[in-house]
């Protein structure tokens, strides 16, 4: 009887085990399944993913104090970060060789653009399969947008790596099999191909972007129609501006001149800031400008060399670009940097700063703070007219058209810096161009470091401490090299 009973119970348990548990469920509460975007693309899903490309780019560029504009800015000696919480801002980041193993000081700014490359590929594949289908114009818009953004991501990857690069340009099939790695030149070839394809896609698109683009695409009222960069033509001109940058890094000077001409470049002195911007809001889920600086003792501060480098206006005060972008802050030293001048004499051109730039820069107070992004919602430039003018000048210098270049440079000097004109000669043209770029594009997109790098002038950047140096590239992260072995 007992055997039967136990047998019965046993069978019952087995039965329960086999049948009653087909519905165990752990929903993906916090996220959306990626596969859903792949298998069931919808217009909204695709537009939302496309918006994500901008979000990823923005969050990497300027979403935090250690993001790309700031991090590579430190390498290029635009700024210091006197952060006592992680001493690597004052050590690793200032060394001549960044570590591929370091997740925030060398091996970074790699994975995020490639997230965009993968998502971009998924969007492009989904355009044809969307339910309901996209209109032809919307499909072209989306294709042009995605290719432009992916091209921008790929360009920024190649720009900060060494010439070997070893950078893939495609999304691989599976996470375990990376796509083939190619050289920097091949990356640029791909960037140019994508940008040109995007431009022709955008030519076939019309109207306003189906992707709800931010006020960073507004343009400047009075110069262009508000929302200009949300129109297919406006976005195409943004695409051409990026195309000009690609040509600049490829030293294709005539291509650069052509692309600049097709972009939104304008000689209006009031339009220096016309361009496309990363924007920030305080809404939940959005991010704030991570470069915004507050208080009189922030960690991020201007490199003391800028005081020595700055040209003075006719009245003896500094270049307006210096004055406009900085403010005095209290001094602080760390790691033997920004130690300070023991006998402080105010800096004659701007007595708000107590320290005179004599001696080595390490012996100077770092009392210059940034006022470039005064609010947490101040936009951060992706590309703007002031850079286009300087790009046109550079192309003309390189093509021997010093007169045309001089006009653009003097326009920028006067409109942006309040400085008198200069006369360009073949001997001083590049130096002068680099000075204008240094102050016009200060703390934007690490242009200083990129410029000194492409002109092989990294050795001219100030090195304040024995053992420090200027890294010439961000290494491919350890994870990438390892996975490829």
Partner 1 sequence: MRKLGLLTAVILLFFTTSALAQQRTITGEVRDDVTDEQISFPQITVDGTTIGTVGGEDGRFTLSVQQGAVRLIVQRIGYRSSIIDVGADQQVVEVTLTVDYLRVEELVVTGRATETRRVNLANSIGTIDGTELNQVPQETIDKAIAGRIAGAVINQNSGAPGGGLQLNIRGSASINAAAEPLYVVDGVIVSNAAIPSNQNEITSAAGGSNPSLDQDVLQNRIADINPEDIETIEVLKGASAAAIYGSKASNGVVIITTRQGEGPNQVRLAFQGGAFDLSNKLGSRVFASPEDAVDGFGAAGGVLCTSSPCQILDNEQFLAGRNAFSWQGDIQVSGGQPGSTTYFGSGQWRDDEGIITNTGFERQSGRLNVNTVVGGVADFSFNTNLIRTNARRGITNNGNNSISYYMVFPNTPNFIDLRADNNGLFPKNGAVLADGTESNFVQAGSNPLQTAALVDNNETVWRLLGSMNMELSLVNNDKDRFQIIAPVGVDFFSQTNRIFSPPDLFWEPVDGLLGTALDSNSDALNINVGGNGVWTHQFSGSQLTTAVGVQYEYRDVQINRTIGRNLTAGKDKTDAATQVSIIEQRAKVEDFGFYIQEEWLGLDDRLLLTGMVRFDQSSANGETTKLFIFPKGAASYRILEGSNPGNFFSEVKVRAAYGQSGNQPLCDVRDGCQKFTSLRLDANLEGQAGTVLEGTAGSPLLAPERASEFEAGIDITGLNDRLTLEFTGYVNNITNIILERTVAPSTGFADEIANQATLRNTGFETTIGWTPFVGSNFTWLSRTVFYFNKSEVRDLQGLAPFEADAGFGLVLGGFFVQEGESLTQIVGTDVDCTGNPAVDEPVPGTEACLVTPEFGGTGIAGQRKAGDSEPTFLMSFVNDFTIARNLNLYTMFEWRYGNDIINLTELLYDFGSNSADWNDQDGTIESVQECNPNCSGEERLPSFGSQAYPWTQAASFFKARDISLTYSLPTKWAASFFNSQQIRFRLSMRNLFTITNYKGLDPEVSNFGNQNVGRSIDVAPFPPSRSLWLGFDITL
Q: Which of residues 389-428 bind partner 1 (CB under 8 A)?
A: none
Is residue 332 involved in binding partner 1 (CB under 8 A)? yes
Q: CB of residue 110 vs partner 1: minimum separation in angstroms?
A: 6
Q: What is the CA radius of gyration of the chain?
A: 26
Which stretch, 72-80, 167-175, 246-254, 448-456, contacts partner 1 (CB under 8 A)?
167-175
* Helix axes of 429-440 and 385-398: crossing angle, nearest 10 degrees: 170
Residue 19 binds partner 1, judged by CB under 8 A: no
Q: Identify the residue among 162, 197, 262, 479 touching partner 1 (CB under 8 A).
A: 479
Residue (180 or 421) nearer to partner 1, CB? 180
Per CB under 8 A, the segment of 28-36, 233-241, 255-263, 450-458 that binds partner 1 is 28-36
Interface residue with partner 1 among 171, 224, 372, 471 (CB under 8 A) is: 171
Shortest separation between residue 277's beta carbon and partner 1, angstroms: 11
Place of tokens 């209006």: 268
Q: Which of 124, 135, 162, 181 binds partner 1 (CB under 8 A)?
A: 181
Is 84 near partner 1 (CB under 8 A)?
yes
Cβ-based burial of 223 (10 A; exposed 0-12, middle 13-18, buried ≥19): middle
Q: With contact defined as beta carbons under 8 Å apart, do 389 and 408 qualify?
A: yes
The single residue among 333, 360, 422, 430 that binds partner 1, judged by CB under 8 A, is 333
* Residue placing its CB nearer to partner 1 in the complex, 84 or 268: 84
DSSP states of 450-461 = HHHHHTT-GGGS
CA distance 60 to 76: 18
Residue from 71, 79, 95, 148 binding partner 1 (CB under 8 A): 95
> Is position 186 an interface residue for partner 1 (rule: CB under 8 A)?
no
Nearer to partner 1, 462 or 469 (CB): 469
**Minimum CB–partner distance for residue 119 and partner 1 (Å):** 5
Any contact of residue 111 with partner 1 (CB under 8 A)?
Answer: yes
227 binds partner 1 (CB under 8 A): no
Can the peptide bond before residue 153 be classed as cis, meaning omega within 30 degrees of 0?
A: no
Candidates 42, 48, 206, 266; binder of partner 1 (CB under 8 A) is: 48
Window 278 to 317, contacts with partner 1 (CB under 8 A): 279, 281-288, 292-299
- Rounded distance between C-alpha atoms, residue 47 and residue 315, angstroms: 52
Contact between 92 and partner 1 (CB under 8 A)? yes
Q: Looking at 68, 114, 435, 473, which residue binds partner 1 (CB under 8 A)?
A: 114
Q: Which of 227, 340, 462, 469 binds partner 1 (CB under 8 A)?
A: 340
Nearer to partner 1, 213 or 232 (CB): 213
Give the three-state DSSP class for 64: coil
Q: Which of 375, 420, 423, 431 binds partner 1 (CB under 8 A)?
A: 375
Q: Which of positions 344-373 make contact with partner 1 (CB under 8 A)?
A: 344, 354, 367
> If binding means CB under 8 A, how many residues of this protein chain bind partner 1?
121
Bridge partner list, 276: 383
Q: Which residues contact 101 (CB under 8 A, 6 or more apart)?
A: 107, 477, 478
Name the nearest CA neighbour of 146 among 171, 109, 178, 110. 171
Residue 484 touches partner 1, criterion: CB under 8 A: yes
Decide: 65 and 290 in contact? Cβ < 8 Å.
Answer: yes
Q: Enumerate residues 6+ apart whose C-beta is below 8 A from 427.
A: none
Shortest Å distance, C-beta 394 to partner 1: 31
Phi (first) and psi of residue 152, to 5 degrees: -60, -45
Closest alpha carbon to 141 in 80, 196, 203: 203
Residue from 42, 135, 172, 183 in contact with partner 1 (CB under 8 A) = 172
C-beta of residue 71 within 8 angstroms of C-beta of residue 93: yes
User: What is the Cα–Cα distance from 435 to 415, expressed in whole angstroms?
Assistant: 15
Nearest to 213 by CA among 233, 229, 225: 229
Q: How far is the CB of 114 from partner 1 (least distance, A)?
A: 5
Of 21 and 427, CB closest to partner 1 = 21
Cα separation of 160 and 450, whole Å? 7
Q: Classify residue 208 by its DSSP letter.
A: B
52 is a contact residue toward partner 1 (CB under 8 A): yes
């Amino acid at each position: 009887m007992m055997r039967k009973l136990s047998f019965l119970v046993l069978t019952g348990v087995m039965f329960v085990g086999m049948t009653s548990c087909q519905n165990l469920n752990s929903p993906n509460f916090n996220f959306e399944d990626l596969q859903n975007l792949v298998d069931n693309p919808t217009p909204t899903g695709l537009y939302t993913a496309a918006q994500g490309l901008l979000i990823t780019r923005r969050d990497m560029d300027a979403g935090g104090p250690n993001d790309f504009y700031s991090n590579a800015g430190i390498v290029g000696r635009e700024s210091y970060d006197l952060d006592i919480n992680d001493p690597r801002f004052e050590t690793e980041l200032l060394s001549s060789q960044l570590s591929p193993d370091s997740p925030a000081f060398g091996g970074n700014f790699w994975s995020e653009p490639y997230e965009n490359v993968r998502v971009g590929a998924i969007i492009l594949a989904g355009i044809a399969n969307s339910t309901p289908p996209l209109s032809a114009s919307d499909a072209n818009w989306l294709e042009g947008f995605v290719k432009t953004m992916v091209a921008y991501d790929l360009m920024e990857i190649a720009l900060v790596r060494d010439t070997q690069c070893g950078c893939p340009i495609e999304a691989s099939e599976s996470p375990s099999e990376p796509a083939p790695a190619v050289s920097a030149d091949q990356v640029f070839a791909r960037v140019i191909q994508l940008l040109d394809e995007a431009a022709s896609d955008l030519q076939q698109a019309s109207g306003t972007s189906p992707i709800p683009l931010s006020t960073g695409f507004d343009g400047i009222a009075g110069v262009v129609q508000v929302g200009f960069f949300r129109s297919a033509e406006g976005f195409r001109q943004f695409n051409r501006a990026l195309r000009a940058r690609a040509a600049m890094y490829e030293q294709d000077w005539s291509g650069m001149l052509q692309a600049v001409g097709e972009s939104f470049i304008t000689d209006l002195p009031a339009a220096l800031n016309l361009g496309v911007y990363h924007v920030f809001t305080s809404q939940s889920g959005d991010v704030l400008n991570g470069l915004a600086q507050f208080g009189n003792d922030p960690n991020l501060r201007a490199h003391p060399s800028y005081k020595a480098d700055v040209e003075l206006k006719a009245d003896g005060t500094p270049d307006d670009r210096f004055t406009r972008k900085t403010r005095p802050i209290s001094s602080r030293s760390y790691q033997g940097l920004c130690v300070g001048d023991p006998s402080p004499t105010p800096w004659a051109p701007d007595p708000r700063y107590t320290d005179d730039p004599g001696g080595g820069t390490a012996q100077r107070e770092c009392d210059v703070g940034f006022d470039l992004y005064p609010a947490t919602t101040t936009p951060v430039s992706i590309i703007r007219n002031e850079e286009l003018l300087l790009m046109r000048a550079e192309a003309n210098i390189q093509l021997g058209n010093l007169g045309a270049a001089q006009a653009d440079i003097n326009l920028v000097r006067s409109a942006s810096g309040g400085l008198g004109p200069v006369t360009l000669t073949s001997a001083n043209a590049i130096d002068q161009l680099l000075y204008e770029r240094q102050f016009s594009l200060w703390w934007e997109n690490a242009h200083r470091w990129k410029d000194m790098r492409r002109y092989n002038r990294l050795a001219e950047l100030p090195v304040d401490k024995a053992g420090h140096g200027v890294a010439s590239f961000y290494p491919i992260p350890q994870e990438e090299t390892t996975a490829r072995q």
